[in-house]
Structures are given as structure tokens and as C-alpha cells.
Amino acid sequence: MKNRIFLLFILVLTLGLFLTACGTETEEEGTDDNSGTETEGAEENTKEATEEEAASGDYKIAMVTDIGGVDDKSFNQSAWEGITAWGEENGLVEDEGYDYAQSNEKADYMPNITRFVRDEYNLVYGIGFELKEDIQTAADQYPDTNFAIVDDTVDASNAVSITFKEHQGSFLVGVAAALKTSTDKLGFVGGVDSPLIKKFESGFIAGAKSVNPDIEVDVQYAESFADAAKGKLIATNMYDSGIDVIYHASGATGNGVFNQAKDIKQNDPEREIWVIGVDRDQHEEGQINDHNVTLTSMVKRVDVAVQDVANRGMNGEFPGGELLEYGIEEDGITFATTNEEAMTEDIITTVEEWQEKLLNGEVEAPKTTEELEAYEDSL
């Protein structure tokens, strides 16, 4: 009996050693098969995970506005329209697949950004150069989230910088303004004096002086993108001085420019008074009774840009670390012809001729004060 028990014990022990050896051999074989491919496998898994998120509708994007607000009639609104269109196109629901956060002051930027990170949004946009520092900080702190800054640049492998050739579009509306004015006096209202808005100013003045080198352009800055009252005051003084066309690049501050032009038109329907909109077609903002004071708009297709970047991210091809610049050639910059009564065929034809010169390199629109001065000297 004892011998049988001993033999049974030896049999079980032998079987256990055999199974252990097989298991070890299998593990070693698996390790050998994966040697030298761990990095490649990790990258492939990351890409597959991104594609699976997109396919299952889990890819989510959001934007943080600057203090101009999502309904600023300008670039925040254009960005949100692009994100909304992208969400609807992909069958997503607002507040789940896409969303925005309103910033009422600069202190709101980082809390708004981190809320979207916490809620596991894949891509977070900062709309406007004022969010540059916070987007940079967030990109450094949250490497697993992708970010995008509009109108400025950041340096991070998980962030993309989206910029535009605003000086090109501003040049074109400057040509239109010079062709439309009857006083040879134009106005430019900027939001915050900065390199970005200098692109608008320089291009506009260059375009106008390309038509008439002796034309006068009064430049004033409100030092805010959200002060409609200041915009109205500046416009009042400009129109009172004989200026009949004002181009604004001032976000929601420009609402005040439109309000003053409409007030003048309301009291004197025969007076020729015009506003040139910015970032999106602001034709609706110029409607007053049977008249419209919006001559044209320098349309910056922020909506196109945010959709483009969102699609790349959803397809696992997020352009992290890149600088994307959208101009006329990329369909990122154009001018509006909605006001058919004001933008006559002759004006449109001439503007398109200058547009072709920009495209073929015959003319280069200036984007700084120094470049503008050199351009003026060449006229």
C-alpha cells in the first residue's frame, strides 16, 4: 500500500515538472517572437485605439473661447460653426461628442481647458492668440490629450498651431474699400495691438494704396476684442471725420462699429457708409431696414481649419508639432460678395485680378509695419 502511494506521488511530481517546463518554453518562445518589435507594436496599438475610438463614435473634440465669446460674430463663432458641422457630420451629439466652454475673463482659460481634459476629450482647441500660454502649459502637462491653438504657435508634440494668411485677405478688401470710397478716407479698427492684428492692418493699407497711393487710412485700436461700446465710439469719430469705409479686425468690439454705421444709415438713408467685416461673412450684421452697410468681409475660414484638424485626428493622423497655415491657395482666406448691390461686378473683377497677382507671386501682401513701409515705397 505504501509503495502504491509512493509511486502515485512520483507520477504527480513528474507530471507537474513536465507542465512547468512546457509553460516556460511557451513564454520564452513568445518573448523571442516579440523581441525588437515592442516599440512598433505600441505605436500600432495606439493608432488602432484611435481608429477604434473614431469608428465607435468615441472621438470627442471641444473648444475654449477667448473673452469675445462663442457668439462674437467673428472667429470664435466661425470656429464653433466648424466644430458643430463636424459633429453633425459624424453623427455626434453636442455636450457629448463636441462642446465648447465660454471664457468671460483670462482666468477662465486654464480651468476650461482642464475640464475638457478631465472629461476625456481627445482634442481641445484654444481659439485666439490670448490662449497661447495656457494651451502650451496644458500640452506639457497632459501628453495624452491633443491640443490646437488658433492664431498663434505652441511647441509641443501633442499640439498643432493653426494660423492664417490674414494679410492676403485684408489686402483684397483694402482694394475693395479703395474702389468704393467717395472721400478717399478709410478707417481701420483693431482689437488688441499685436503682431496678429498688424497683419490685418498692413494688408488692408497696402491693398487700398495699390489702387490709390494718396488714400488716407486712419488706424485706431480699442485694446479689446469684447468692447462694443469702445468700437462704437471709435467708429463715431471716424465717420464724423469724413471716413466712409471702416475695416474692423476686433472681434466682438466690431459689433459697435456696425451699430454706429447702422445708426447713421437709419438717420440718413442716402448717406454712403460702409463696414468691412472680418473672419466670417458679416453681411447679416449690416442689415438695417432695406439697406445693408456691410460692403464685404475678409473671410478667414476658421471653420474649415478646425474641421480639417479634427478629421486628421479622428483618422489617427493628428499633425502634432506642426504649423498649419491657411491662405487663399488653401481655401482658408477669401472675400465676401454677398452684398451684390455694393460689391459691383467691376469691383469684384478688379479684386479678383489682385487676388491672382497674390497667387502667382507677382504681388506679396505685407504683414508687418516694416514690410508695409517697403511696399508703399515701391508704389
Domain that holds residue 137: 58-164
Contacts of 83 (CB under 8 A, 6+ apart): 61, 62, 63, 98, 100, 125, 306, 307, 310
Q: For the purposes of burial, counting CB atoms within 10 Å of the CB of 18, is it exposed (0-12), middle (13-18) or buried (19 or more)?
A: exposed
> Average pLDDT in the 341-353 region?
98
Q: What is the mean pLDDT of the chain?
A: 89
Instruction: Look at residue 58 in the predicted model and tell me its pLDDT.
Output: 87
Q: What is the pTM of this model?
A: 0.81
Q: Are 254 and 73 in contact (CB under 8 A)?
A: yes
Residue 370: give its domain's CATH number. Answer: 3.40.50.2300
Does 217 lie in the same domain as 156? no
Does 261 lie in the same domain as 227? yes
Q: For residue 367, give the C-alpha cell.
A: 504683414
Question: pLDDT tens for residues 134-169?
Answer: 999 999 999 999 999 999 999 999 999 999 999 999
Q: Are 74 and 279 in contact (CB under 8 A)?
A: yes
Residue 52 maps to a domain: no
> Average pLDDT in the 321-342 region?
96
Residue 205 maps to a domain: yes
Does 218 lie in the same domain as 183? yes
User: Strands 185-190 and 216-221: what pairing?
Assistant: parallel
Q: Which of these three, 129, 164, 199, is where a domain ends?
A: 164
Does 97 lie in the same domain as 62? yes
Instruction: Look at residue 282 in the predicted model and tell me its pLDDT.
Output: 96
How many domains does the structure of the chain reveal?
2
Contacts of 123 (CB under 8 A, 6+ apart): 59, 60, 61, 62, 145, 146, 147, 148, 309, 310, 313, 318
Does 358 lie in the same domain as 233? yes
Does 170 lie in the same domain as 157? no
Which is more confident, 72 or 353?
A: 353
Q: Which of these three, 117, 140, 164, is where a domain ends?
A: 164
Question: pLDDT tens for residues 205-216?
Answer: 999 999 999 999
Residue 89 maps to a domain: yes
> Average pLDDT in the 259-281 region?
96
> How many CA atoms, within 13 angstroms, populate the side-chain half-sphere of residue 60?
17
Q: Are 306 and 86 in contact (CB under 8 A)?
A: yes
Q: Residue 106 has what DSSP assignment?
A: G
Q: Are 273 and 283 in contact (CB under 8 A)?
A: no
Instruction: Look at residue 74 in the predicted model and tell me its pLDDT.
Output: 86
Residue 43 maps to a domain: no
Q: Which residue has the cell 492664417?
A: 164
Question: pLDDT tens for residues 49-74?
Answer: 444 444 445 899 999 999 989 998 88
pLDDT interval class at 104 (50, 70, 90)? very high
Does 295 lie in the same domain as 207? yes
Contacts of 269 (CB under 8 A, 6+ apart): 289, 291
Does 147 lie in the same domain as 76? yes
Residue 283 maps to a domain: yes
Question: pLDDT tens for residues 203-248?
Answer: 999 999 999 999 999 999 999 999 999 999 999 999 999 999 999 9
Q: Residue 212 has what DSSP assignment?
A: -
Using the predicted structure, report yes or no on whether residue 99 has a pLDDT greater than 70.
yes
Which is more confident, 286 or 17?
A: 286
Q: Which of these three, 164, 184, 208, is where a domain ends?
A: 164
Does 368 lie in the same domain as 265? yes
